[in-house]
Structures are given as structure tokens and as C-alpha cells.
Amino acid sequence: MFEDRSIDQISEAEWHELITTGTREQQRLEFKATLRLSVDKALSDKEKLEMLLDVSSLANAVGGYLVYGVKDDGNDRTGGYSGLTRDEAKRIETTIDELCVTYITERIEGLEVRFREIEQHFLVIVKVPASSKAPHMVTFSNVTSFYIRHDDHKRRMTIGEIRSAFNDDLFGRRLTRVEQGLSQILDFMKSSGPVNLQESFDDSSSAVDGNSLSRDRRKAVWERYG
């Protein structure tokens, strides 16, 4: 969907066509008429929690777009604009941004929340990246949940899926540190000429010249990446 472009890179014509041609909801696309921020706290909190679960479920899957200001035709397809006013849309934009920062852990890097005016209609568009920090947890109104997007709906993650996501993330972080360390060593070797690795890791050698790493640097690299 939109080749994972940022919100501002997608033209008004593309958004208008999406909303007025009966586009079906899918794994990377969800429509909402509004986010009700009423004086009824129970109703308002229910809407806020639903939004947080929608956003986190997309981040825990393959990312996508959540669009407010779109009617449902009753068959999970777009039925035109829902009629948000400018003030409503601006308020929804601010609320979504603040709630996501406060109640989703870890913070979703690259999350975009934008107010857009399309053909004199007002939308709030949330672009959720597929996150490298999954799984993301929602903690709001005495509820702690992990959700994931599947096809055109979200569901609670299983214990196995949560465990796998944490393990994958830990492995990824370790691999990144190793790659960074190797890159530093290779950069140093390219700039300093050939290195005798056996000698360079021998603590009895204190040589610090153009052809070897300093002893302190060798020790630090070995302890961290060896």
C-alpha cells in the first residue's frame, strides 16, 4: 500500500481515490470515521484504547496506515468522507500523537501523525512503520496488551509470538553490535595497513604503531565482541 511512502509523499488525488472508490480494509490499511473524545470518560477511554491497539498492532506486524475521517459502507469498504470538521481533525491529530508517545512501549520510531485536507474534507492519517523494536505493548486504563494485525483485523498476540518477538529483537541488537564492532576494526585496518591479529591480541605486546591496534583498544574490542 503506497509503497510504504510517508504521508506527505502521497498526493491528494491518491487519497481521494482511495476513499471514494470503495477500497477494502486490508492488513496494512484501516479506516475510522472518527475518534470520539467526548465528556463521557468511559466512552472516550474505550475509543483511545482502540486507537492504541490499532497502532501497536500495525507496528507489531508489517506496518501500514490508519485513516480517520472515512465512512464504512457496511462491508469493510470505504464509503466516502465522514465529515470531520477542521477543529475535530486537529484535535484528533494532537490526541493520537500524545497518546502513542505516552502509552505505547517501546516508542515507535518513525511514527507519523498528520492532519490532511483532501478535496475540502479533513482527515487524520497515521503512518505506522514495521517496527524493529517489536513487540510494542499498550498500557492504558488498567489494560496491558500486546496486539498484532492479521489480514483486515487485529488480535491479541500469543505468548509464543511475544516470546519470539523479544528473542528476535535481542538477537538483532546483538548482531548489530557485532557488525558495528567488525566495521570499526576493518576501518582501522584499512587506514593503518596489515595487522598481525595473533600479535595484536597478545597482552605481552605493547606496540602502538601504524601496523597494530593499541593494547587498550584491542582489549576493549576483544572483551565486547570476542
Cα separation of 107 and 100, whole Å? 8
72 and 153 part of one domain: yes
What does the pLDDT read at residue 207? 43
Question: Which of 125, 157, 189 is at the close of a domain?
Answer: 157
The total domain count for the chain is 2
126 and 202 part of one domain: no
142 and 182 part of one domain: no
What does the pLDDT read at residue 191? 65
Question: Which domain covers residue 33, as residue numbers?
Answer: 2-157
64 and 137 part of one domain: yes
Supply the pTM of this predicted model: 0.74
120 and 214 part of one domain: no
What does the pLDDT read at residue 22? 95
137 and 169 part of one domain: no
Mean pLDDT by groups of 10 residues along the chain of 226 residues: 90 96 95 91 93 97 97 92 97 97 96 97 97 93 92 93 78 52 65 55 45 52 53
148 and 198 part of one domain: no
31 and 45 part of one domain: yes
179 and 137 part of one domain: no
What does the pLDDT read at residue 190? 64
**Residues 49/140, Cβ–Cβ less than 8 Å:** yes
151 and 167 part of one domain: no
Cα separation of 158 and 80, whole Å? 35
The CATH number of residue 56's host domain is 3.30.950.30
